[in-house]
């Protein structure tokens, strides 16, 4: 940072490179956190864990589990670095829970002049709370202290249901189920529903080897063969011949069936995602979520091209982090995708126009077309974040074209 400042260069930081936006792009200095990994310290009494910022979530979770700890909530993939996940407001699902960043109780930053700033309960906790979601615009996050919880398992039920039944039942599920989400497959009348309940019960022992193998095969079939291998093949075919997409979509869920199992929380929360795609995601107030979703369903019927990827619908409790997409309100999240190499402009712009009617907030790491003039009105504590940015990076060392667009120059 001192060298970059002396040379008048801008600096961006990349974690796992999972973001779809150019949030990490720069023509000057790009800092990778790939070598800054591992757990620094664990306080078993408080459940607080200090982690180097480049640690990938898929590496961190088993290590926490070995210490009898877990992250309270996770998204549906675990490829991101810890710093990248919190900086872009990555989240999971569950009305009684919050985003990953809400579990941050301490941060260590290298700021624009090369100095180190420590933020925790004893050192500027107000600034710490702002920096929990920083978009890499406040400095280089080098360490994160996470508030973890005692290890827990999830009792998971995954099944295919009629989409109209899912929409009617979702609010009730959200109020009574720890973690719930669904994936509606466009051009079909069905959705995959995932409902997870937290438990300290241990997985039941297999009655015999054959039973154990059948249970593992069923889970492997749902998770790997259907969600990755077969789904990928269908998308390649659909890209070549779009007219067959509606028929192929029906086949995806036709063979899905129902799966029920109990295992470690992080193994349930996150799934392998090997089929490449482009994604847009919006957060809207909980009370508007299902209406917005139904409007997206109607939009799909008007598009020039069929859609081969499911729409994901999740729900999350609100928080008070200034740039969290759930700031100040319980939120529903609607994520839309297209297969890699597929035109998405008409679809994504159409979805964004719908979300604008509900003061929707785009995921910071996923595709969208908004700018600071629009976004400033959608975040009640926008000025609080800008004040922190002026304090920590007054010369805008940590910016690029994307941040100039979404945060202002």
301-327 tens-digit pLDDT: 999 999 998 999 999 999 999 999 999
Shared domain check, 277 and 239: yes
The strand pair at 39-43 and 116-119 is best described as: unpaired
C-alpha span between 145 and 82 (Å, rounded): 10
Q: Cβ(272)–Cβ(223) under 8 Å?
A: yes
3-class DSSP state for residue 381? Answer: coil
Residue ending a domain, among 328, 344, 362, is 362
Q: Cβ distance 107 to 128 under 8 Å?
A: yes
Q: What's the CA gap between 76 and 227, in Å, rounded? A: 13
* Rounded-to-integer distance, Cα 199 and Cα 151, Å: 10
- Tell me, yes or no, whether 162 and 137 share the same domain: no
Statement to judge: residues 20 and 75 lie in one domain: yes
Structure tokens at 237: 């075919």
Q: What is each CA distance from 233 to 222, 236, 274, 310, 311, in whole angstroms?
A: 15, 5, 11, 15, 19
pLDDT of residue 171 exceeding 70: yes
Residues 182 and 319 in one domain: yes
Average confidence score pLDDT of the chain: 91
Asked if residue 262 has pLDDT above 80, the reply is yes
How much of the chain exceeds pLDDT 90, in percent?
80
Say yes or no to pLDDT of 328 above 80: yes
Under 8 Å CB-to-CB from 324, ≥6 apart: which residues? 89, 99, 101, 102, 132, 133
| In a shared domain, residues 311 and 264 | yes
Pair 125, 25 in one domain? yes
Residue 176, C-beta contacts closer than 8 angstroms, at least 6 positions apart: none
Per-residue pLDDT tens over the stretch 73-93: 999 889 999 999 999 999 999
Predicted local distance difference test score (pLDDT) of residue 163: 96
Q: Which domain holds residue 127?
A: 2-151+371-407
Strand partners, 156: 196, 261
Phi, psi of 269 (to 5 degrees): -60, -50
CATH number of the domain that residue 228 is part of: 3.40.462.10
Whether 6 shows a pLDDT value over 60: the answer reads yes
Same domain (yes/no): 58, 69? yes
pLDDT at 119: 98
Residue 207: predicted pLDDT: 53
The pTM (predicted TM-score) of the whole model is 0.91
Question: Which pLDDT belongs to residue 236?
Answer: 61
The Cβ of residue 356 has, within 10 Å, a number of other Cβ atoms equal to 13
Strand pairing class (331-339; 39-43):
unpaired
Tell me which H or E stretch contains 59: helix 57-66
Confidence of residue 240 (pLDDT cuts 50, 70, 90): low
Kindly state whether residues 391 and 275 are assigned to the same domain: no
Give the C-alpha separation, 194 to 160, whole Å: 9
More confident residue, 252 or 369: 369
- Which residue in 125, 208, 184, 158 sits closest to 311, CA to CA? 184
Check whether residue 182 and residue 289 sit in a common domain. yes
Q: Which pLDDT score, from 0 to 100, does residue 225 have? A: 42
Q: How confident is the model at residue 255 (pLDDT cuts 50, 70, 90)?
A: low
Number of structural domains (the chain) is 2
First to last CA, the chain: 20
DSSP secondary structure string for all residues of 221-286: IIIIIIIIIIHHHHHHHHHH-GGGHHHHHHHHHHTT-EEEEEEEHHHHH-----S-EEEEEEEEEG
- Compare 158 and 245 and report the one with higher pLDDT: 158
What 3-state class would DSSP assign to 7?
coil
pLDDT band at 258 (very low <50, low <70, confident <90, very high): confident
Same domain flag for 69 and 198: no
Q: How far apart are CA 289 and CA 167, in angstroms?
A: 10
Please check whether residues 174 and 87 belong to one and the same domain. Answer: no
Alpha carbon separation from 254 to 160, 221, 227, 257 (Å, rounded): 8, 13, 13, 7
For the residues 108-117, what does the mean pLDDT come to? 94
CA nearest neighbour of 109 among 127, 95, 121: 127
Same structural domain for residues 207 and 351? yes
CA atoms within 13 A on the CB side of 275: 22
d(CA 170, CA 175): 9
CA distance 97 to 76: 15
Overall average pLDDT of the 132-138 stretch: 97
* 271 neighbors 76 (Cβ within 8 angstroms): yes
Among the residue ranges 15-19, 242-246, 266-270, 350-354, the one predicted with the least confidence is 242-246
Quick one: CA torsion of 371, 374, 379, 381, rounded to 10 degrees? 80
Q: Specify the pLDDT at position 213.
A: 43
CATH of residue 100? 3.30.465.10
Q: Which pLDDT value is given to residue 221?
A: 45
Instruction: Give dist(CA 389, CA 409) in Å, integer.
Output: 11
pLDDT at 290: 98
- Residue-wise pLDDT for 183-237, tens only, equals 999 999 999 999 999 999 988 775 554 454 445 545 544 554 456 556 666 766 6
């Amino acid at each position: 940072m001192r060298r970059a400042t002396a040379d008048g260069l801008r600096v961006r930081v990349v974690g796992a490179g999972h973001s779809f936006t150019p949030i990490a792009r720069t023509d000057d200095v790009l800092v990778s956190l790939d070598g800054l990994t591992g757990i620094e310290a664990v306080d078993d009494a408080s459940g607080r864990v200090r982690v180097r910022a480049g640690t990938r979530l898929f590496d961190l979770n088993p290590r926490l589990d070995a210490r009898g700890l877990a992250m309270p909530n996770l998204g549906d993939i675990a490829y991101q670095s810890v710093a990248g996940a919190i900086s872009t407001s990555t989240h999971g699902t569950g009305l009684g829970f919050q985003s990953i960043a809400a579990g941050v109780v301490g941060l260590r930053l290298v700021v624009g002049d090369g100095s180190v700033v420590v933020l925790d309960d004893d050192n500027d906790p107000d600034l710490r709370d702002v920096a929990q979601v920083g978009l890499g615009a406040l400095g280089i996050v080098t360490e994160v202290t996470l508030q973890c919880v005692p290890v827990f398992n999830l009792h998971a039920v995954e099944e295919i249901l009629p989409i109209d039944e899912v929409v009617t039942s979702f609010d009730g599920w959200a109020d009574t189920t720890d973690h719930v989400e669904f994936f509606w497959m466009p051009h079909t009348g069905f959705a995959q529903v995932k409902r997870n309940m937290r438990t300290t019960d241990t997985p039941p022992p297999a009655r015999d080897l054959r039973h154990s193998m059948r249970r593992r095969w069923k889970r492997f079939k749902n998770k790997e063969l259907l969600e990755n291998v077969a789904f990928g093949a269908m998308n390649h075919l659909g890209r070549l011949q779009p007219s067959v997409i509606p028929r192929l979509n029906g086949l995806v869920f036709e063979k899905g069936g129902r799966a029920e199992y109990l295992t470690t929380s992080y193994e349930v929360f996150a799934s392998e995602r090997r089929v490449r795609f482009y994604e847009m995601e919006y957060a809207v107030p909980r009370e508007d979520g299902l209406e917005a979703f139904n409007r997206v369903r109607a939009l799909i019927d008007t598009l020039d091209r069929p859609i081969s990827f499911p729409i994901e619908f999740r729900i999350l409790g609100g928080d008070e982090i200034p740039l969290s997409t759930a700031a100040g309100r319980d939120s529903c999240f609607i994520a839309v995708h297209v297969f890699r190499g597929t035109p998405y402009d008409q679809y994504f712009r159409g979805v964004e126009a719908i979300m604008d009617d509900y003061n929707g907030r785009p995921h910071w790491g996923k595709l969208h077309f908004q700018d600071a003039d629009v976004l400033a009105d959608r975040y009640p504590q926008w000025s609080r974040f800008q004040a922190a940015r002026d304090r920590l990076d007054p010369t805008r060392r940590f910016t690029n074209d994307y941040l100039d667009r979404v945060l202002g120059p």
